[in-house]
Structure 1
Amino acid sequence: MPAEIVLDELQGYSEPVELDREVAAALRDTGLVSVVPAQGGGWSLLPVGRVGAVQIDDLLVRVKPKEKVGLSRLLFLLGYAADPGFRPDNVIGAEDEDLFAALAESLARHAERALERGPLNGYVSVEEALRTVKGRIRVGDQMSRRPGLLLPLEVSYDDHTSDVVENQILRAAIRTMMRVPRLPEALVGRLAHVESRLEGVSALNQGAVLPAWTESRTNSHYVPALRLSEIILRSLSAESGVGHRMVASFVVNMATVFEDFVATALKEALDAYPGLTEWQYEAYLDKAEPGFRTNERVQMFVDVVHFVSGRPYMIFDAKYKAASANGAYPNADQYQMLAYCTALGVSRAWLVYAGRGETRFRRIRNTGVSVVEFPLDLSRDPESLLERVKELAQRSYTTAFPSSLPGANR
């Protein structure tokens, strides 16, 4: 069995590899690649639209993004899509070939910085039964749970403690990271030392919805660690698989990551202009006819639509696809944009592709519709990526309103 298998996201063929049946099953369950028996023996592994890494015992399988996006860029895209406040310096630029070691190193550094002044403390509301009065007595609970009894007392009070949401998230991420097999011993030791400083902090249930927190002056030094911790808790899994083998996986769908990033960044950029921006806007290609039920109509969901005075003026659709050898993209994308423009009464649509190249305008024959192919190079640094999205917002708005900016109400 090989020690490492590296695949490209767009790879269409790979040489069969020898794997234990249990390892093959565990790898298939992660969803990173398809795992099917190969003709003549062995197993055929092919990407299925996701990138990341899977560690199973001594085997490491990696699928690299088509745009050669490094770890820091991938984490930036993931973080910004979840929270527009996510900034490049929230990710430490560790571009180690071992994704898990790089993640662990970034988490360790951020956690160490967050805890330089000690664990964060705050007030939390506590409800419990005590033999002495503390805070206020919950009379209703006392009467329903202990009718006729004076003790213990059902009370509620505010407690100043380190068992706050921020520490719960940080500790959960550290514990998840420490379950990843074959991390460098020194790195595991650093994570264990940081985790020991959070002794007494409640454990979060694995897979549960992460508790909400709000950035403030009090927790500002925790923010980079918290944002990275949330990415780890959402995307990283480390648990026993088939045959009790330890399986660690960090698997993301790059198409979803790209679409979410474009929608979030574009909405933020368009906030500088009059109007209202909506994403995944529901529309119909056909008219509502008598006797037609809603579920019988041709339904569409447009990635991003910008309205001014209640009317759609700009539409955008993000596509994470590979261009052909001559730089062209699938014709179906143009048909889709023509349908969007026709249904919404818009004269121009913007197709945002992940890749390099020049902006290309296509005028659709016998119509007043144009489709603009706007490339977004993911190999750029985060600040340049955001500037490129701002350029898209500015160009689309001035194209829609070439003479002046209307003083429309939002």
Structure 2
Amino acid sequence: MTTIVRLRESDRARPVRLTGEQARRLAAAGVVEVRPGAGAGTWLLRSDRTVGAARIGDVELYVEPKLPVGNLLFLLGYARDPKGWRKHRVPATDADGLMPALADALWRQIDQAIRPGLPQGYRTTEATSTVLRGRIRETRQLGRWPGRPVPLEIRYDEFTADIPENRILAGAVERMLRVPGIRPESRRMLRHLSAVFAEVSPLWPGQPTPAWIPTRTNTRLWPALRLAELVLSGRSIDVRTGHVAVNGLLIDLATLFEEFVTASLRAALQSRFGGLLIAQANGHLDHGRRIAVRPDLVWKKNGRVIAVADAKYKRHTPTADMYQMLAYCTAYGLPRGHLVYAAGGTPSRHVVRNAGTEIVCHFLDLGRAPADLLTEVNRLAEEIARTETTMASSIR
């Protein structure tokens, strides 16, 4: 019998009746926090930063985001394509939850995109064959089969449906079919689409998403491809924990927030104030280069670091974050560092005693409409640019 567990992101731990084996499997999968409860057979489950759906043995786990579904999909879309988010926004409703909404949008977009027929293109193939097709790879032929007429090492162009665009769409369909809790109609349509893509090479778990190039010939596929990439960008947990299959689709909100802040601040700073915003920059705290530091964001102009920032998917400001930012500012010789949090707090400034380093805490309200949220990011970029460029000018 399947045990269904429903949680809400960042809520208090919820008591759930589970067997000891079910609790062990959940803990081993690392999807949620699992602690013993007050009574026998009762366990406390909590998800702090992961949302989505997963089937772990005989447990179906659903974690809904606090954010509206549409806002979450906007963050996913903008983080991957800041320029195209308006054109390719996915309509969604909170009525049925994140995964049902995502599954419904996915099959509808793909069905509309391929209704005129599966797109095809040329694919270059290299093979060993007894029949000449295309061109002989002379170096390969002489190296492997010197003096022999067959087999032949050949290269040829094939007009086929097995192209990156179709592989991305097919991969998203297969990924979504492994997610529990989607509507029967969506599952039926996804199975239908899976059959349509039967001749397309599958994407195996862990395989990178193929690259595709937007062109006039594949314009009709763009919305479906963007959505498919969103599905594929979610962390798949199609793995095994011991002898138990674990599969589903999860989104790490801390990683997503960091990616959104990086993409949106890069667009705001570089386009208006120049310089280069670098994500996950490597640096060192000590002269011996043994103590590494790696802030989320470093803004450089004229080869010099003039600002450093970290994105935190939290609604408060732990002291540990202050220590971390102080280390970054010390490593780069900066008088100021920026911590960017996800809503819920009041902007604040803290000046470190005996050092004079200022740590500025900013908050972005992810529940606001996308345009309003981007306006907040632009204001944040203006504040960083105003104070940091003034500082840089005074040093020169």
1:360 Cα deviation (Å)? Answer: 2.9
1:282 aligned partner, one-letter code:
N
1:25 Cα deviation (Å)? Answer: 4.2
2:274 aligned partner, one-letter code:
P
- Once the two structures are overlaid, the 10-residue window that deviates more, 120-129 or 34-43, is 34-43
1:267 aligned partner, one-letter code:
R
Q: Which runs of 5+ in 2 are unaligned?
A: none
1:35 Cα deviation (Å)? Answer: 3.1
- Identify the match of residue 72 of structure 1 among 64, 70, 82: 70
Is the 8 Å Cα contact of residues 176 and 238 (structure 1) preserved in structure 2? no
Deviations 1:56-83 (A, max 9, x none): 5885433344xx2133322332343344
Aligned counterpart, 1:326: none
Deviations 1:346-369 (A, max 9, x none): 232222110145433344455543
Is the 8 Å Cα contact of residues 340 and 363 (structure 2) preserved in structure 1? yes
Aligned counterpart, 2:114: 115
Equivalents in 2 of 1:236, 1:366: separation in Å? 44
Q: Report how many aligned residue pairs link the two structures.
A: 392
1:345 Cα deviation (Å)? Answer: 2.6
2:54 aligned partner, one-letter code:
V
CA distance 1:127–1:309, shift in 2 (3 Å):
closer
1:294 aligned partner, one-letter code:
R
2:199 aligned partner, one-letter code:
G
1:87 aligned partner, one-letter code:
W
Equivalents in 2 of 1:243, 1:334: separation in Å? 40
Equivalents in 2 of 1:211, 1:108: separation in Å? 20
Aligned counterpart, 2:339: 351
- For the pair 1:294 / 2:292, whether they are aligned, the reply is no
Aligned counterpart, 2:359: 371
- Identify the match of residue 311 of structure 2 among 309, 313, 318: 318
Equivalents in 2 of 1:389, 1:372: separation in Å? 15
Equivalents in 1 of 2:283, 2:227: separation in Å? 36
Equivalents in 2 of 1:207, 1:282: separation in Å? 26
1:310 aligned partner, one-letter code:
G
Equivalents in 2 of 1:30, 1:100: separation in Å? 20
Other structure's SS at 1:90 match: coil
Equivalents in 2 of 1:73, 1:229: separation in Å? 17
- For the pair 1:383 / 2:371, whether they are aligned, the reply is yes
Aligned counterpart, 2:298: 305
Equivalents in 2 of 1:373, 1:349: separation in Å? 9
1:283 aligned partner, one-letter code:
G
Equivalents in 2 of 1:90, 1:154: separation in Å? 46
Aligned counterpart, 2:381: 393
2:296 aligned partner, one-letter code:
D
Equivalents in 2 of 1:81, 1:112: separation in Å? 25
Equivalents in 1 of 2:345, 2:237: separation in Å? 39
Deviations 1:203-247 (A, max 9, x none): 222222222222222223222322322332343547586798775
Aligned counterpart, 1:280: 280
Cα RMSD (Å) of the superposition? 3.2
CA distance 1:183–1:400, shift in 2 (3 Å):
closer
Equivalents in 1 of 2:184, 2:349: separation in Å? 54
1:33 Cα deviation (Å)? Answer: 0.9
1:41 Cα deviation (Å)? Answer: 1.4
Equivalents in 2 of 1:120, 1:138: separation in Å? 29
Aligned counterpart, 1:10: 10
Is the 8 Å Cα contact of residues 306 and 389 (structure 2) preserved in structure 1? no
1:270 Cα deviation (Å)? Answer: 1.3
Aligned counterpart, 1:31: 30
CA distance 1:244–1:230, shift in 2 (3 Å):
farther
1:294 Cα deviation (Å)? Answer: 3.0
Equivalents in 2 of 1:210, 1:70: separation in Å? 27
Is the 8 Å Cα contact of residues 57 and 181 (structure 1) preserved in structure 2? no
CA distance 1:225–1:141, shift in 2 (3 Å):
same
Equivalents in 2 of 1:211, 1:150: separation in Å? 36
1:125 Cα deviation (Å)? Answer: 0.3
Aligned counterpart, 1:341: 329
Deviations 1:10-39 (A, max 9, x none): 344332x22245543443343221334445
State, as a whole percentage, how many aligned pairs show the same letter: 38
CA distance 1:357–1:383, shift in 2 (3 Å):
same
Other structure's SS at 1:100 match: helix
Is the 8 Å Cα contact of residues 28 and 241 (structure 2) preserved in structure 1? no
Q: Which runs of 5+ in 1 are unaligned?
A: 324-328
Other structure's SS at 1:108 match: helix
Aligned counterpart, 2:44: 44
Equivalents in 2 of 1:237, 1:376: separation in Å? 28
Give the structure-1-normalised TM-score.
0.83
Equivalents in 2 of 1:243, 1:277: separation in Å? 42
Deviations 1:163-219 (A, max 9, x none): 101101111221222233454332222122323332321122222222222222222
Other structure's SS at 1:278 match: strand
CA distance 1:23–1:85, shift in 2 (3 Å):
farther
Deviations 1:229-270 (A, max 9, x none): 233234354758679877542223222221222122212221
CA distance 1:202–1:337, shift in 2 (3 Å):
closer
Other structure's SS at 2:387 match: helix
Equivalents in 1 of 2:146, 2:211: separation in Å? 36
Is the 8 Å Cα contact of residues 164 and 212 (structure 2) preserved in structure 1? yes
1:377 Cα deviation (Å)? Answer: 0.6
CA distance 1:110–1:23, shift in 2 (3 Å):
farther
- Once the two structures are overlaid, the 10-residue window that deviates more, 393-402 or 147-156, is 147-156
Deviations 1:293-334 (A, max 9, x none): 532xx43222212122222222212122233xxxxx223333
1:379 Cα deviation (Å)? Answer: 0.6
CA distance 1:20–1:102, shift in 2 (3 Å):
farther
CA distance 1:96–1:151, shift in 2 (3 Å):
farther
